[in-house]
Amino acid sequence: MIMAETNNSVKNIGLRGVKVADTRISDVDGTNGILIYRGFPIEELAEHSTFEETAYLLLHDALPKEEQLEDFKKMFTEARELPAFVFDVIRRLPKTSRPMDVLQASVPLLGMADREPEDESRGANLSKAIRLIARIPMIVAGWDRIRNGHEPLPADENLSHAGNFLWQLRGTYPDPETAKDLDTALILHADHSFNASTFACRAVVSTRAHMYAAVAAGVGALSGRLHGGANAEVMKMLDELRGEDDVPGWVRKQLDSGRKIMGMGHAVYKTTDPRARFLKNMCFRLGKKLGEEHWCRLSTQIEETAVAEFARRGKTTIKPNVDFFSAPVYHMMGIPGDLMTPLFAVSRIAGWTAHIIEEKFGDAQGEKPALYRPSSEYTGHYCGKEACTYTPIDQRK
Ligand SMILES: CC(C)(COP(=O)(O)OP(=O)(O)OC[C@H]1O[C@@H](n2cnc3c(N)ncnc32)[C@H](O)[C@@H]1OP(=O)(O)O)[C@@H](O)C(=O)NCCC(=O)NCCS
């Protein structure tokens, strides 16, 4: 029996620190708390760019010129014409369905709605990416309206991508400042190198499956509470706590019983996540404007108490991640708790599709892209010398 050689040091550690591929899209420096997209620090983009422009950057490896950005936005507008069957199917789903399940189920429907499903050229894949970026927010907002007994709203092409999402979700026009804050939050969530959902997308597309198959896997991976699902869990924690006085006892109890403080800790960052710093400032600014600063004070109280308590237990690297302050920010924007993870997908679809295209065309590897196929160590039974022999069911003791 031939067994592949296994390097024991990389087993059962969730591939931490294992470099599985080259990428030109983004990089995370976990020691120094630095995130870059296509060479640009996240702070530069969050301060100066828009989600649309950042999506272009992720997909094209360069910032657009004015005309290129206008064409890109026009493609978004056109993509918002969705064939009627998509919402006809979604309307038939149980109203209690979890929004991430609805989103994951809708991705293949979007594939069926694609007007060039068999075209696997780079141009067609870029068009599919733009259609997905435009349509995923429509599904998220549309589902929330449907489950609440309303009809999905038509898009308003005069609004930004973020502004249009808020309009299609709430049915009221957002004030420009709130739309800009959501736009910034979308920039911050748009990509994060080889996180679990992006890796899932890349693994699926390495089989030469199409973009929609890969994105459906990405949505599934994002839904988990250790990944994108954490923001919804943070909101539950804030709802459960309410008062700042509850925090010290609650944090200790949580840690003593081996439970996690959601929105804290990271597989790569061993210092504060740069996105969390940005979202914390946004939280206080929004909170002040809306008279809801208590959410940010409560979050800060949890942050400070938990960091001190972790340190007391010898864990000095667990700090807030992107989900910690995005939850109160989204809450103040009127986003229901169970739509917070779908909203993560509304942004991350830009990164997923960029990675799918990079993987599909071997853009960073400089050689033929390989099918992902890691090895595992078999630790199961052998009942004979080298293998089990089959005993018919009526002869088994
Ligand atoms: C994201 C996460 C899975 C990364 O953790 P990891 O790489 O598996 O583990 P780390 O090496 O960072 O953690 C080491 C220790 O800290 C603990 N730890 C990490 N994050 C923690 C948290 N948020 N609350 C309590 N304990 C935590 C782990 O349980 C582990 O404890 P142990 O050594 O006693 O078993 C983890 O921090 C976590 O579960 N966080 C909460 C969920 C979350 O916010 N996810 C979103 C990530 S963007």
For 285-325, write each residue's pLDDT tens digit: 999 999 999 999 999 999 999 999 999 999 999 999 999 99
Instruction: Give the integer Cα–Cα distance in Å for 62 and 312.
Output: 45
pTM recorded for the entire structure: 0.96
Residue 350: pLDDT above 60?
Answer: yes
Q: How confident is the model at residue 365 (pLDDT cuts 50, 70, 90)?
A: confident
Ligand 1 probe mutation, 317, 318, 324, 344, most atoms within 8 A of CB: 318
Q: What is the mean pLDDT of the chain?
A: 95
Structure confidence at residue 171 (pLDDT) = 96
Ligand 1, atom 24, lies closest to the CA of: 260
Q: How far is the CA of 270 from the centre of ligand 1 (A)?
A: 11
Q: Which residues are catalytic?
A: 266, 323
- pLDDT > 70 fraction of the chain, expressed in percent and rounded: 98
Across the range 190-203, mean pLDDT stands at 98
Nearest CA to ligand 1 atom 37: 265
Question: Residue 149 corresponds to which tokens in the numbers above?
Answer: 């007994």
CA 338, CA 221: separation in Å to the nearest integer? Answer: 16
> Whose Cα sits closest to atom 44 in ligand 1?
263
- pLDDT at res. 385: 74
pLDDT (tens digit per residue) in 10-45: 899 999 999 999 999 999 999 999 999 999 999 999
CA 80 to chain centre: 21
pLDDT, one tens digit per residue, over 85-131 is 999 999 999 999 999 999 999 999 999 999 899 999 999 999 999 99
In this prediction, residues 369-397 reach a mean pLDDT of 88
Residue recorded with tokens 């994002």: 222
Q: Which of 18, 31, 226 to mutate to test the pocket of ligand 1 (most atoms within 8 A of CB)?
A: 226
Expressed in angstroms, the distance from the first to the final Cα of the chain is 29
| Atom of ligand 1 at shortest range from CA of 255 | 25
Output the ligand 1 site: residues, CB below 6 A: 226, 230, 260-267, 315, 318, 321-323
pLDDT given at position 157: 92
Counting ligand 1 atoms within 8 A of each CB, the residue from 235, 236, 260 with the most, and so the one to mutate, is: 260
pLDDT confidence of residue 397: 87
- Residue with the smallest CA separation from ligand 1 atom 19 is 265
Q: How far does residue 265's CA lie from ligand 1's centre (Å)?
A: 5
CB-CB contact of 129 with 357 (8 Å) = yes
Distance separating alpha carbons of residues 348 and 143, to the nearest angstrom: 19
In whole angstroms, what is the distance from residue 35 CA to residue 184 CA? 15
In this structure, the number of other CB atoms found within 10 A of the CB of residue 274 comes to 22
